[in-house]
Amino acid sequence: MLNYSVIFKMYIKILRRLILGFILSILIFFSHPQTIFADSLGSWSNTTNLPNPLASHISYTSANKISVVGGANTVVVPTNISSVINNADGSLLPWISSGSALSLFWHSSAIKDNFLYVLGGATFPPTVSINTVYKGVIDNQGVITSWTSLTPLPQNLSIGSSTVVGTRLYFAGGFTNGGSTNQNVYFANINVDGTIGSWTIAGLLPEPMSGFGMVENGNNLIVFGGYTGSVYSDKVYRASINLDGTISAFIETAALPEAVYRSAYIKVGSTIISAGGRNGTNSLNKIYYANINLDGTIDSWQQSANNLPEALYATAAAYANGFMYVTGGHNDALYFNTVYYAPVNVSNEIDLAVPLLKQTEPLWGGFMYDSADQWAPPPEPVDIARWGCALTSAAMVFQYYGITKLPNGIDLNPGTLNVFLKNDINLDSTKDGYRYEGHVNWAELSNISKLGKSQNPGFAYDVLEFSAYDGHNNDLLQNDIENGNPVILQEPGHFVVAKGINEDDKFKINDPFYEKSSLSEYGDTSLSMKRFIPADSDLSYIVVSTQDSINMILKDSLGNEVGMHTTEYPIKNPETGTDNGDPAKFIYFSKPTGGDYSILVNASSPTNYEIQILTYDSDGQHEKFIFSGIVEPGDEDNYSIAFDKNNSGNSTSTQDITFDSLIADIKSLYSLHEINFGNYLYLLVQARTAKGLSGNQVTKAGSIALLKAMDRQILRAKGRGVSNNAYNILHNDIQTLLSSI
């Protein structure tokens, strides 16, 4: 006979075990991080349509505008248009022309700083692939009004892909005119002024490809989808980038759910979003997205529940203010002028591991900053704690990149870096770590990064290459931070380091003095941006500086203006508000070719000035040249530079002195009351007479005699009708003329 009480007890015991097991499984599940796939996009909305149906174009965003360049429908449509983004809901205002249009299609594009590059493409009729490369400068209004032709691609290519990694422009794949598909990946170095060097083969795609997506992430190139010439692809590959710009072999990673050709795509943070395209049979309205891991591999691709309203390919995508915009396109039957946009639900939060250093730290805060005892008026303090914000910001950035030792092996911090900048870095008699009253020489910091490479095994590159942006550019700042590069920002009287982005798209900062952590506390803007980007590059530079009241232009031997202009504003003592001096103007010209350059100097009022010229060779060794002069409206001083890229010791710089410039200096000095009336009349008459005699071999001796007499006169009158400054300027003018006659 069955004992039911025993059976009942047995079932109760089993039930208890089952319940306990269920509870434990729940606890284990919630105690471990779970992968949750939130949809990357919200629902799509239609906004202001393009003026014409358009496909095979490109788009970009800047200064709260979205712009479209190039494209075609049944004919090529010359296009360069833009639309303002409505901040309230992301919709667009009517499209307007932005300036000079480009008549091409099937082109690709990439952005670095405020430069947009348009590469390759095709023209029609007939359909011909081209190798042109255009540079457009994005102005403060977010648009491009004109284009400059740059070094063309090695072959005619269309429907390829391009991107920027650090200071290099990459182009890959594409169709040739012969109907074949290209497998090469090319790169060209980008100069500070936006021009590019020659193209070099970086490596090979996994197979010949066109119509694929390509993005960079950290130090990786990622390509996905496309057409191989015979097969529409769902493959995704990654390759790492070597120090010299070449790439490793591509390795396959997580494939797309289906083949995708000529989709519109963006990268937001570490997420790729691909919209539309063709799978080889049909146009698509599907949205696929995937996260990029730190090593460049791809997580499993997900499909958004929010499809495009139309199946489209040959569209263009752009991202701004939390929205993805898809413009125009084709669906195998029709061309579209529609513009769709959807909110992007991807976290932009980034927090780079930049160490927080304070200029007030007792370990270094009490040491004298630069030569502050010479320019800080008593009783102003002269220490790093009051003036060292730029210095401390630079130390933070260097430590972030793994440069923790100076070239002499000493630990790098604001105090030791200050001493190194003050002393003769290049073992010569010059002191060029600071310019004028405590302005940091940023190019010399770049030099330190290269000189100290052997002391810093954790620094994987050759150099931190310096560039600057005069003013503020949110897109550039976001791009730098997304690529792992903190940026030094100049605020009124102060410097901070931008090092992250929070969930509200606000920039995080390290402030070397104040307890501030967001750029919003400085109005979400800056006066200028100082950028140090890891690179494998030469250190050649021409650096020209003078006071703020002087205008200067640097030109190459062909008369083209070159170099990057920036203004260094005074640093303020945060406790008293006292400035460290006047603003100073700088021109930085990175990686100049060897040869002749000229500098033109003028001013809007009679002004005494000093101009300093530093010529760095490719190894970072430099020569310094200092000139004094005077200019007034309508007058212009000229200087010549003979630049040797390989040996700074061979570089020279001279002031271009003529009889006309001597006469102009006499007039300017008189207008500034540095010459009295009697000496002015004497010198002016003598100079004009000497000029007239100098052009004839017979009378040349008379010209020389008059110049020598002028030199004796200004020496006699020095301090008595001729100021010391006037004597120095005129004596230099006269001696230069005597040596040239």
Report how far apart, in Å, the C-alpha atoms of 722 and of each of 184, 729, 730, 732, 736 are.
Answer: 68, 11, 10, 14, 19
Q: Identify the weakest region by mean pLDDT among 37-41, 151-155, 456-460.
A: 37-41
Beta-carbon count within 10 A of 680 CB: 19
Whole-number mean pLDDT of the chain?
90
Architecture per CATH, 45-346: 6 Propeller (2.120)
Domain ranges in the chain with CATH number 2.120.10.80: 45-346
328-351: buried (b, 16+ CB within 10 Å) or exposed (e) per residue?
bbbbeeebbbbbbbbbbbbebebe
Q: Which of 60, 113, 63, 110 is nearest to 530 (CA)?
A: 113
Beta-carbon count within 10 A of 266 CB: 22
The pTM of the full predicted model, rounded to 2 decimals, is 0.63
Q: What is the pLDDT of residue 537?
A: 67
Q: Is the dihedral of CA 623, 627, 633, 635 positive or negative?
A: negative
368 and 383 in contact (C-beta within 8 Å)? Answer: yes
Digit-coded pLDDT (tens) for 486-508: 999 999 999 999 999 987 779 99
**Count of alpha carbons within 13 angstroms of residue 81, beta-carbon side:** 20
Digit-coded pLDDT (tens) for 122-165: 999 999 999 999 999 999 899 999 999 999 999 999 999 999 98
674 and 723 in contact (C-beta within 8 Å)? Answer: yes
pLDDT of 243 above 80: no
Report how far apart, in Å, the C-alpha atoms of 451 and of each of 391, 539, 571, 621 are.
Answer: 18, 10, 28, 10
Q: Is 15 helix (H, G, I), strand (E, B) or coil?
A: helix
303 and 288 in contact (C-beta within 8 Å)? Answer: yes
| 40 — pLDDT class (breaks 50, 70, 90) | confident
Run of H or E including 469: strand 463-470
Cβ-based burial of 604 (10 A; exposed 0-12, middle 13-18, buried ≥19):
exposed
Q: Which of 220, 201, 215 is nearest to 273 (CA)?
A: 215
What is the spatial distance between Cα 137 and Cα 382, in angstroms, rounded to a whole number?
Answer: 41
Q: What is the DSSP string of 437-460?
A: TTEE-HHHHHHHHHHTGGG-TT--
Tokens of 386: 């009051």
Q: What is the pLDDT of residue 475?
A: 83
Report how far apart, in Å, the C-alpha atoms of 24 and of each of 12, 16, 29, 393 are.
Answer: 18, 12, 9, 51
